Amino acid sequence: MAPSVAAAVFVSTIAPHAQTSTTFRTRLAPVPIDLTMAATITGSGSVTAVLSGNKLTFTGTFEGLAAPATIAQVHKGPVAGVRGPVLFDLTVTHGTSGTLSGSADLTAAQVTDLEKRRLYVQLHSEKAPDGNLWGWLFPVVSHQSLVASLSRKETVFQNVFDSIDPKSGAPQYRADILEQQTGKWVQSCPSTEGGHHWRR
C-alpha cells in the first residue's frame, strides 16, 4: 500500500507598502483689491489638501462673503503670489458661507508645482466673478520635522535652557530657574524684555 502523503499549502501574502501622505494648507483671504472693490470682496476661509500618491484631496470652509459663492478652482502661478491659469475645479457651496471639496490626480509636473508652492485655491462669488478669496498651498510642517530641520543654533545669547531635545523640541530649563522662589533673584538672558540680534 502506497504511503499517504500529506501536502501542506502555504499562502504567502505580501503587504503593500504603506502609502505616505503630505498635508498642505492655506488661509483664504480677499484677492488684491482697490477701494472701489472693498465692499464687494470680503470673507475668509481655510483649505486643507492631502496628497497621497498622486491624488490630491481638498476640504475647506469659507464665510463672510458679500454675495453667494459661484465656483472654486485650483490654479497654478509661476511663483507664489502671482496669478496663473486654472488646473481644475472644486465643488463649492453656493452661499455666503459653506464648504468646498474635491480631488484630482496630479501629473508629476503638477506634484512638483505643488511642492514648490505654485498652486493656489481661488473662490469666486456673484459680486466678484474674477475672484473673491484666494490662498496659496503650503506644506504643513510638523513640530518634530521643524525641530529636526533647524540647526538649533542660538540667534541670540541665552542661558535659560540647558538643552533642547532634538526629537520633541522640549526645552530643559536650568535647575535654579525651575526651583526659583518668590523674592529670590535669578539672573537670566534674555530677560523679560526679550532678545535682540542687531546686524549692521
Same domain, 123 and 167: no
Same domain, 27 and 125: yes
Same domain, 113 and 170: no
- Domain with 149 in it: 143-178
- CA pair distance 55, 49, nearest whole angstrom: 10
Residue 13 has pLDDT above 70, yes or no: no
pLDDT of 107: 97
pLDDT of 135: 94
Same domain, 150 and 121: no
pLDDT of 33: 84
pLDDT band at 110 (very low <50, low <70, confident <90, very high): very high
Greater confidence, 10 or 34? 34
Is residue 97 in some structural domain?
A: yes
Is residue 5 in some structural domain?
A: no
In eight-state DSSP terms, residue 179 is T
Same domain, 135 and 171: no
Instruction: Decide if 141 contacts 159 (C-beta within 8 A).
Output: no
Model confidence pLDDT, tens digit, residues 158-172: 777 777 776 666 777
Instruction: Decide if 150 contacts 180 (C-beta within 8 A).
Output: no
Cell numbers that stand for 179 in this block: 526651583
Same domain, 121 and 166: no
Count of the separate structural domains present in the chain: 2
Is residue 130 in some structural domain?
A: yes
Three-state DSSP class for residue 74 = strand
pLDDT band at 194 (very low <50, low <70, confident <90, very high): low
pLDDT band at 41 (very low <50, low <70, confident <90, very high): very high
Same domain, 40 and 122: yes
- CA pair distance 102, 6, nearest whole angstrom: 55
Is residue 190 in some structural domain?
A: no
Greater confidence, 120 or 199? 120
Instruction: List all residues 6 or more positions away from 137 whose beta carbon is below 8 Å from its beta carbon.
Output: 24, 25, 26, 47, 49, 114, 117, 119, 120, 121
User: Mean pLDDT across the chain, nearest whole number?
Assistant: 81
Greater confidence, 14 or 126? 126
CB atoms within 10 A of CB 42: 20
Greater confidence, 147 or 17? 147
Question: Which CATH number does the domain housing residue 87 bear?
Answer: 2.60.40.200
Mean pLDDT of the region 103-118: 96
Is residue 34 in some structural domain?
A: yes
Same domain, 41 and 108: yes
Query: Can you list the pairs that 16-19 forms with residues at least 24 positions away whose Cβ atoms lie under 8 Å?
Result: 19/52, 19/53
Same domain, 27 and 111: yes
Mean pLDDT of the region 151-159: 65
Is residue 86 in some structural domain?
A: yes
Is residue 8 in some structural domain?
A: no
Same domain, 82 and 156: no
Cell numbers that stand for 3 in this block: 504511503
Is residue 134 in some structural domain?
A: yes
pLDDT band at 12 (very low <50, low <70, confident <90, very high): very low
- CA pair distance 180, 165, nearest whole angstrom: 22
- CA pair distance 76, 83, nearest whole angstrom: 7
Mean pLDDT of the region 5-32: 66
Cell numbers that stand for 188 in this block: 537670566
Same domain, 25 and 100: yes
| Residues forming a β-bridge with 25 | 48, 138
Same domain, 151 and 134: no
Greater confidence, 156 or 99? 99
Mean pLDDT of the region 131-157: 72
